[in-house]
Structure 1
């Protein structure tokens, strides 16, 4: 029986740090309000021209540097993002070019903030097939380029960043012991980058995309209604209870939402990997960054780690990793 394991992880964030006070200079908000409602103190923003593929490439290089693999040994590159460099070529193709990973084929996955969960699950299947040996899964977002900075209710949440893991095929079950994914089609609660179809033929026609927008209260209600019960049911199917999990890495939507999930599971916040306080909501990259920070500081041997993502689409799902 074949499976997959994670060889290495890394993350990368832009050098520019934007504080709540910085945002208060350009919009009607303040540090007290932002921290009270989101728990976020700072976020990194790409203000030096780095695009999503640049952040993804940096995270990938850092992860690869921790292995004995050459870039030519990578067979597959998956980038999860909903802030791509463009519609074509894929952001993953640009990363493949940047890395000179000439033997890898590459493509993007767009499931918004649950992207890393979907990406790791997808790579695992390719590696289990026996056709592919090594894969890069990268979650990268430049949310700042999609923001309407007049929309204070959304913009204050978001930051930019990328996380990556190197995965390899292995004999046995691998680290991914259980998974469950869901999609509920809903384009209204959260959307970004929509391109309207033509309504007439004119030389004035030119593609235009809309900024990121969300219905914050509806997002909160969706997540608090679905996610705690999803986690309980997901673990119950494996005859596990929430207390059987050593570490939780949820989507880094905002600190208050993570606190709600912890309370609903009756689990201490000490078990929850959180980077949203200093990085903001980095969409799909948040779980990838959280996994890397945990992986770099804790010996995960013998541990159970639950990754749970939820995002626009509406998408949500969990992976149980057992090391």
Structure 2
């Protein structure tokens, strides 16, 4: 049976590092408050004109170079993002042009911070069709361009970055199981809303809203539901938590990850994190953390759990076996 294999991975972040003290100069907060509540010390912010497609392009090229695969061999490109360059063309189309993937088609997938898990699950179906030799899944976000820097409840969390994986066909697929959920809710987290017209006017132009979240509601939703979701998902796969070698959660907040670790009765040493240095990079966080793991550890014979959760409310898990 044809499945998909993760042939290589890569990630890219902007060069500008923004510390908590830097943020304290533009928003009412302190380094002590941010670290205590989020565990975040720094984040990368795109301050030199790099947009989402630029970050995605660089992460994709790293993955291609590591695998020694030419872009014109790629069959499709899926970009998960909720901070695209624009509504059209898709960010995936811009990446396709930038890397010279002349034979690939592409599209964007928007499930907010759960994007990489949803994107990987989607790509796996295309690979199983047997019609594609290689496919790219890229998660990229420039969250900074969507922030209201007077709102400290959101601004202190977020950073920019991109992660990518290159998939190839394999007789033994790396994805051992998956489970996805959506609970429609536009109130807890929303971003980029464009209001419809109420009248015709020559000076009308589209206006987009900044990112907004109800932080306490997000924390309670995640910490109460995600541990149960993980336990139920692994039970369906006939896999115990203790047998999972590494766990990569959405990099929302280190304190949230610590709480989930406690609820699952699993040591924090199993949890791969980058939120301390990269901040909450939305859908890119899991993709970047996976690349950091994949680049530093031999994953042969290992089980890796990926769990994403984000606005929508969307959440889901993938179990990878190597």
In structure 1, the residue matched to 2:73 is 73
| Matches of 1:35 and 1:91, distance apart in 2 | 33
| Matches of 2:190 and 2:249, distance apart in 1 | 21
Q: Deviations over 1:251-273 (max 9, x none)?
A: 00000000011000000000000
| Matches of 1:290 and 1:3, distance apart in 2 | 23
In structure 1, the residue matched to 2:232 is 233
In structure 2, the residue matched to 1:297 is 296
| Matches of 1:70 and 1:24, distance apart in 2 | 44
| Matches of 2:108 and 2:290, distance apart in 1 | 20
In structure 1, the residue matched to 2:131 is 131
SS at match of 1:95: helix
SS at match of 2:67: coil
SS at match of 2:49: coil
In structure 1, the residue matched to 2:305 is 306
Q: Deviations over 1:273-310 (max 9, x none)?
A: 00000000000000000000000111100000000000
After TM superposition, the runs of 4+ consecutive aligned structure 1 residues lying more than 3 A away are none
| 1:1-323 map, 5 Å | 1-172=1-172, 174-323=173-322
**Could you tell me how far 1:90 is from its partner in structure 2?**
0.2
SS at match of 2:307: strand
SS at match of 1:66: helix
Tell me which moved more, 236-245 or 80-89: 236-245
CA RMSD of aligned residues (A): 0.6
Q: Deviations over 1:42-74 (max 9, x none)?
A: 000000000000000000001100112111100
| Matches of 2:168 and 2:238, distance apart in 1 | 28
SS at match of 2:198: coil
| Matches of 2:310 and 2:220, distance apart in 1 | 13
| Matches of 2:98 and 2:236, distance apart in 1 | 42
Gaps of 5+ in 2: none
The alignment of Structure 1 onto Structure 2 pairs a total of residues equal to 322
| Matches of 1:146 and 1:269, distance apart in 2 | 31
Gaps of 5+ in 1: none
